[in-house]
Chain A
Amino acid sequence: MNVLLDYLPEFRDGFLGTLAITASAALLALVLGVLIAGFRVSPVPPLRAFGTAWVTVLRNTPLTLLFLVAFFVVPQILFQGASPYVLATLALGFYTSSFVCEAVRSGITTVPLGQAEAARSLGMSFPQTLRLVVLPQATRTVIPPLSSIIIALTKNSAIAGAFGYGELFNVSKLLNDRGYPIAWIFLWTALAYLVITFAVSGLFRLLERRLGVAR
């Protein structure tokens, strides 16, 4: 009990850190995921192959390995001096993008065939069909799987703490080093994560109700 009260500022910073990294990684994953899903369903074979390779490699690589790449290889090869926040966002975003891509792709396949045919017979181009007709409808089917992907992302963000980014896991490590009983630290961190994941799933349920249409 004392741990929380004594170190309230640390816990608050860790909580906010987890929120920040989750939000930015989710944004990156959504943008990349939708883009790659577009590649995977496009009529252009090289792009399709690229999308498939992307998903296969990223989905089957342990996230910890991606963190290793982000923190030790990216600074060497691409750019130096990026903050742990940026590097952790990259690792989490790229990893999650493969799951987002698959969710979006399976959402696209649930759109009735006639919808796209109608769009085409109106003279819409492929990007137009995708943007105006298919994706808005696919979005609705994609929301429930997306919700569990974001929740997984929240939990995965704990690994960022092990690489020196200040979030909840980082805080619990710090407090453990100062000799507080691990059981209490564990319970408080667990509670913090529960708050976030409940908020995420509540948000998505709200979205689902807002966007839900009788088909």
Chain B
Amino acid sequence: MSGASVLYDVPGPKAKARNRVYSVIGALAVLGLIAFAFLRLDAKGQLDPEVWRIFNYAGVRTSIRDGVLTTLQVFAVAAVLSLVLGLLLTVARLSDHKPIRWLATGFIELFRAVPLLITIYALWVILLTNRDALGLTGSQPQFWALVAGLTVYNGSVQAEVLRAGINAVPKGQKEAAYALGLSKTQVMTTVLLPQAVRAMLPTIISQLVVTLKDTSLGYIITFEELLYTARLMSTNIIVNGNDTYIPVIIVIGSIYVAMCLALSALATWIERRGRRARTGIRVGAAAEPVAAADAAESAEAPAGTKD
């Protein structure tokens, strides 16, 4: 609690007693809120054992498992492709040739500014109308629209993150590399990029958390990932004359939160490791996954020189 020191002193005996009273009141308020939620759920019959027994059925479990697997599959392909695209865009944006630089900048700015959902939707429509020409069957148009949308959006953001990392590499590194007679490509691939990736790794992984969360947009273009499966299950399974939105959403929500937390934990772990080894440029801060926002804007302050 670093915030604590700004706002209040170490409490004395009187303040401690007062804080204890506040704690009790606060705890009661929070408990009251939880109790209220439970009462409402109970009143609607959502806490009945039958409602929760649906998770005992093999069919329900298999659909959840399949949903998780498709989500992870989209995430894996989109993550790899967006990192590759990000790398290419970074190099293009730092190119010495003006047209290439402009093209990359335009690409990045366009796809960062347009809502991801609209990009995915447009791609989906294009893929659907050209389905036969492209030889796509079944849910492949949805899959590739989702993957391509996630790739262009997150690739653009990752490119900005990487560029911030490259700018954070001390200038002397590049000068020394050129002085040794390395070519432009060699300077980029052996000196700048490795250090930039290392410094920005926590931010890159935080952006991957955003990618993972955004796979749920597949729901809107009817791709059968985890959320779509959840929706399908909750409308199809009727218990006591009710749909089963609440239990299904609680379970699916926990799965999403767990997956994202695991990825965030990886970012924090890498950050801590990077901070311990005091070589080269510093590793930037983890966390702040920057909404589905412009990771670049917060990454702009060179992470290597901060604090």
Q: Does A152 contact B (CB under 8 A)?
A: yes
- Chain A nearest CB, measured from B233 CB (Å): 12
Q: Does A69 contact B (CB under 8 A)?
A: yes
Apart from A148-B291, A159-B220, A193-B115: 15 A-B pairs, beta carbons within 8 A: A49-B30, A50-B30, A62-B215, A62-B256, A64-B216, A65-B253, A76-B246, A77-B44, A147-B297, A148-B298, A151-B294, A155-B292, A189-B114, A190-B113, A194-B114
Q: Does B305 contact A (CB under 8 A)?
A: no
Q: Does B55 contact A (CB under 8 A)?
A: no
Tell me if A105 and B253 are in contact (CB < 8 A).
no
Choose from A57, A65, A144 the contact partner of B249 (Cβ within 8 Å): A65
Number of A residues contacting the other chain (C-beta, 8 Å)? 72
Choose from B27, B40, B116, B260 the contact partner of A46 (Cβ within 8 Å): B27
- Chain A nearest CB, measured from B254 CB (Å): 9
Q: Does A132 contact B (CB under 8 A)?
A: no
Choose from B7, B119, B294 the contact partner of A130 (Cβ within 8 Å): B7
Which residues of chain A have C-beta atoms less than 8 A from B40's C-beta? 77-78
* B245, closest chain A residue (CB): A72
- Chain B nearest CB, measured from A84 CB (Å): 15
Complex Cα–Cα for A194 and B115 (A) = 10
A interface, over-half SS? helix
Q: Does B176 contact A (CB under 8 A)?
A: no
Which residues of chain B have C-beta atoms less than 8 A from A108's C-beta? 3, 6-7
Tell me if B216 and A126 are in contact (CB < 8 A).
no
- Chain A nearest CB, measured from B285 CB (Å): 10
Query: Which B residues contact A (CB, under 8 angstroms)?
Result: 1-9, 11, 15, 19, 22-23, 26-27, 29-30, 40-41, 44, 46, 110, 113-119, 121-122, 125-126, 129, 209, 213-217, 219-220, 227, 230-231, 234, 243, 245-246, 249, 252-253, 256-257, 260-261, 264, 288-294, 297-298
Which residues of chain B have C-beta atoms less than 8 A from A169's C-beta? 115, 117-118, 121
Which residues of chain B have C-beta atoms less than 8 A from A44's C-beta? 19, 22-23, 26
Tell me if B260 and A41 are in contact (CB < 8 A).
no
- Chain B nearest CB, measured from A16 CB (Å): 17
Tell me if B292 and A156 are in contact (CB < 8 A).
yes
* B221, closest chain A residue (CB): A162
Choose from B122, B220, B249, B252 the contact partner of A73 (Cβ within 8 Å): B249
Which residues of chain A have C-beta atoms less than 8 A from B288's C-beta? 102
Tell me if A59 and B289 are in contact (CB < 8 A).
yes
Complex Cα–Cα for A164 and B115 (A) = 17
Choose from A65, A115, A116 the contact partner of B216 (Cβ within 8 Å): A65
- Chain A nearest CB, measured from B228 CB (Å): 10
- Chain A nearest CB, measured from B97 CB (Å): 26
Q: Does A99 contact B (CB under 8 A)?
A: yes
Complex Cα–Cα for A40 and B234 (A) = 35
Which of A173-215 touch B at CB < 8 Å?
173, 176, 182-183, 185-186, 189-190, 193-194, 197
Complex Cα–Cα for A50 and B27 (A) = 9
Tell me if B216 and A46 are in contact (CB < 8 A).
no
Choose from B29, B116, B253, B257 the contact partner of A155 (Cβ within 8 Å): B116
- Chain B nearest CB, measured from A37 CB (Å): 9
- Chain B nearest CB, measured from A49 CB (Å): 8
Tell me if A43 and B8 are in contact (CB < 8 A).
yes
Which residues of chain A have C-beta atoms less than 8 A from B220's C-beta? 64, 159, 162
Q: A62-B227, A155-B292, A162-B117 are in contact. Are A41 and B4 (CB under 8 A)?
A: yes
Which residues of chain B have C-beta atoms less than 8 A from A60's C-beta? 209, 213, 256-257, 260-261, 264
Which residues of chain B have C-beta atoms less than 8 A from A45's C-beta? 23, 26
Q: Does A96 contact B (CB under 8 A)?
A: yes
Which of A60-117 touch B at CB < 8 Å?
60-65, 68-69, 72-73, 76-78, 96, 99, 102, 105, 108-109, 111, 113, 115-117
Tell me if A155 and B249 are in contact (CB < 8 A).
no
Tell me if B3 and A105 are in contact (CB < 8 A).
yes
Which residues of chain A have C-beta atoms less than 8 A from B7's C-beta? 41, 43, 108, 116, 126, 129-130, 134
* A64, closest chain B residue (CB): B216
Which residues of chain B have C-beta atoms less than 8 A from A25's C-beta? none
Choose from A46, A102, A115 the contact partner of B30 (Cβ within 8 Å): A46
- Chain B nearest CB, measured from A3 CB (Å): 13
Complex Cα–Cα for A116 and B3 (A) = 11
List 6 contacting pairs A-B, 8 Å CB cutoff, sorted by A: A65-B249, A72-B243, A149-B291, A154-B115, A158-B117, A172-B121
